[in-house]
A and B are shown apart, each in its own frame.
Chain A
């Protein structure tokens, strides 16, 4: 039973890896950006755990800016993904422009809140 699950796990990881390798490069870049943002957020949370949360607004704005860009990048990925039927008519330039605009608003708020 254990052996079959471990071999299942191995085949699962293998199929995941092969399926993921098939995605286009631009989507992989976006995914990398998302991972980077989440990693930055995690580092900030760990730092807060060590040092304490005194300027809480700074902590909040830092973490939420990372999470925010990650979310926006995921939205961009959804809109740019060619396999997504719903967004077939949306030109990727428009999706990127929306992404930039939303990021601008997000970072304006962050700058204000950073304190």
Chain B
């Protein structure tokens, strides 16, 4: 491979060998991506994690049991009692349909995997696919070497692992694969100008719309890139073929998904695509006219069109602006607005602001989540500019926008991860190219004899940049990368021709510029390998320790061994076996999905958080004293109230810590709940200095009822104080179950008193179940007044 001019007969063998090697490397990357996500299955068990996956799991169970028509038209009455939820119209069906299809295929092949197993392992399988998609995408941008490096980086990157471990059965598991694959097909269409890939691109975009609400990122990024190409003078007919069919077909396909429906043409998230659609047609038309007219006539045409066109444009824009400005949010949805204006959510939508994933990330989380990629990315950006192509400008734009969005919400670091991997893959691959080439040249020179060697002593960066320029042309000619595929595209052939002519002249230039000293390049290669291994060590550590917790089972190590806290499942199992099928359970919305999935009981609010007023009702109930809370819950037909309490074991994500959000959300709708009432001097406390409102509210009472019996002093391990009110009785609720470590406590609403007059000592209630018959002894006061 020294002289790239004539194809050596050993060259084809090398190509074949390289191709097979590349294939096996890809296979290994897939296996790696799959296996690094299995830590949670090994350390805990094959269980679905967190909260949202339980909802997806329940929906998948329904789909596999009842078929797709039932699923499409399903109205769920076990949640958001008494409102119910139209599952068919409010869920992104991609993940469920994918897992359901996989289960159905496996079962029809007589491989009897349960639905739970398929759901648990969907994410690792699709992360392997995502790694392969990254390979294809980066191969389109730079070449096979960069592709393989980027795929390896993506298989390991902790940010992606955190949302796709085995058991994390959430939308992002398939959506990231769909995102990368759609981008790959877009770049492929852009590079080849083939309408076939444009069709595939639209279909892949459809799969992305089915899978995740983040599809709006694609439908805004691609128009941005098209606009960038037009503005920088890189308009070509391939851009038209890549963009225009995608918009039309994509909008139609997006409108097919019930969740999106007519939002595909009516919301501001999609307007950018239509605007650029019009612009690209104007530009295409201008180029067409320019092609068939002489330059003088063209100038006349331009002046004519401008005078007429500007008047029309102003009129149209005025109408559009009036339409958009008439809606209060300018046509954007709340979630998108909170992304564009990071302070929007905290001012107007407290529910979005309260989710911990929606907070901005801290600096250390960048190094935790993308590790060495954080500083390889700028090198990758520079490598993309040498030379700048449509594909590399797209990748740079993708990175810049995803960095901005990841700075707004820590959850969106996930969208940054593929971009960072692509660019770092490019940077690493280019660096390796330069270093190995100089090693090879130096070795050849050493073996051939001491020729005059004008070694440059510039620092490695500038030589690397120069060498990247030369290395690029070398990469194009060296058959290890592109000629393996023998692509019939014009660009490749042209490059080949001009490079074979320039090669003899270049070899002298190369020898002068690429002559990094042998020792320096060898040490640099070793250092790069060490860097890579540090990355691998970090990723494996992050996967094993930080991101594999199923959060429904907790463990802790102490001097007397491993403690397992399985309280959540204990509580849901108790609910499942000891309550009636129609009983309603009220809790904070975090636990709604798990309750419906595992306890199979109707809940009042769940993680979908689509109805703010309903959540505010529950929040108000939790913040009120016992009697008003009882009235609110009674009006909702609630039988059992569930609270999560971590004070005995030190579990920090319990309801007392979330309580201020309940107050804020409740107070947002019911003004008699005021947050300062619960704070003493602006501080949130539950000890003796707490405000009386706080000490009397339902959440306090339900969390700390009989807590003093555990250690005699009522020391709360999370808040690290003794509680304020220690000995009290509950008048309207009775405790029915507390789990082993007191983490989940379930209370039952006491039926209203039989007699109104006098203070009758009510006997301890028996365990006779009341089948929902309401006693009208108490006057039904409006609990909201």
Contact A78–B198 (Cβ < 8 Å): no
- Which residue of chain B has the shortest Cβ distance to A72 in the bound complex? B245
Contact A102–B245 (Cβ < 8 Å): yes
Compute how far the CA of A19 lies from the CA of B460 in the bound complex, rounded to whole angstroms: 56
Interface size class for chain B?
Answer: 35 or more
| A54 within 8 Å of B (CB atoms) | no
Chain A interface mostly helix, strand, loop or mixed? helix
Q: Which residues 48-70 in A have Cβ within 8 Å of B in the complex?
A: 56-57, 60-61, 64, 67-68
Contact B256–A86 (Cβ < 8 Å): no
Compute how far the CA of A61 lies from the CA of B265 in the bound complex, rounded to whole angstroms: 12
Contact A67–B248 (Cβ < 8 Å): yes
| B292 within 8 Å of A (CB atoms) | yes
Compute how far the CA of A84 lies from the CA of B287 in the bound complex, rounded to whole angstroms: 12
Contact B241–A78 (Cβ < 8 Å): yes
Which of B135-143, B232-240, B648-656 binds A? B232-240
- Which residue of chain A has the shortest Cβ distance to B241 in the bound complex? A75
Contact A98–B199 (Cβ < 8 Å): yes
Compute how far the CA of A60 lies from the CA of B256 in the bound complex, rounded to whole angstroms: 11
Assess A79 versus B248: contact at CB under 8 Å? Given A57-B255, A74-B240. no
Q: Which residues 69-83 in A have Cβ within 8 Å of B in the complex?
A: 71-72, 74-76, 78-79, 83
Cβ contacts under 8 Å, A75 to chain B: 195, 198, 240-241, 244-245
Q: 1/0 per residue A97-110: CB within 8 Å of B?
A: 01101100110011
Contact A71–B244 (Cβ < 8 Å): yes
Q: 1/0 per residue A27-49: CB within 8 Å of B?
A: 00000000000000000000000
| B301 within 8 Å of A (CB atoms) | yes
Q: Which residues 1-37 in A have Cβ within 8 Å of B in the complex?
A: 5, 8-9, 11-12, 15-16, 19-20, 22-23
Cβ contacts under 8 Å, B403 to chain A: none
| B253 within 8 Å of A (CB atoms) | yes
Contact B249–A60 (Cβ < 8 Å): no
How near does chain B come to A102, taking the closest CB pair, in angstroms? 5
Q: Which residues 252-266 in B have Cβ within 8 Å of A in the complex?
A: 252-253, 255-256, 262, 265
Assess A15 versus B252: contact at CB under 8 Å? Given A60-B262, A89-B490, A98-B199. no
Contact B262–A56 (Cβ < 8 Å): yes
How near does chain A come to B281, taking the closest CB pair, in angstroms? 9
Cβ contacts under 8 Å, B240 to chain A: 74-75, 78
Contact B252–A88 (Cβ < 8 Å): no
- Which residue of chain B has the shortest Cβ distance to A83 in the bound complex? B291
Compute how far the CA of A89 lies from the CA of B289 in the bound complex, rounded to whole angstroms: 24
Compute how far the CA of A101 lies from the CA of B291 in the bound complex, rounded to whole angstroms: 29
Residues of B within 8 A of A (CB): 193-196, 198-199, 202-203, 236-238, 240-241, 244-245, 248-249, 251-253, 255-256, 262, 265, 284, 289, 291-294, 297, 300-301, 304, 488-490
Show 30 A/B contacts (Cβ-Cβ < 8 Å), sorted by A: A11-B297, A15-B297, A16-B289, A16-B297, A67-B248, A68-B249, A68-B252, A71-B244, A72-B245, A74-B240, A74-B244, A75-B198, A79-B195, A87-B193, A89-B488, A90-B194, A95-B195, A98-B195, A98-B199, A99-B195, A101-B196, A101-B199, A102-B196, A102-B199, A102-B245, A105-B249, A109-B249, A109-B252, A112-B256, A113-B252
Contacts A11-B297, A75-B240, A90-B194 supplied; 10 other A-B pairs, CB < 8 Å: A9-B300, A20-B292, A68-B245, A79-B193, A90-B193, A95-B195, A98-B194, A98-B199, A102-B245, A109-B249
Residues of A within 8 A of B (CB): 5, 8-9, 11-12, 15-16, 19-20, 22-23, 56-57, 60-61, 64, 67-68, 71-72, 74-76, 78-79, 83-84, 86-90, 95, 98-99, 101-102, 105-106, 109-110, 112-113
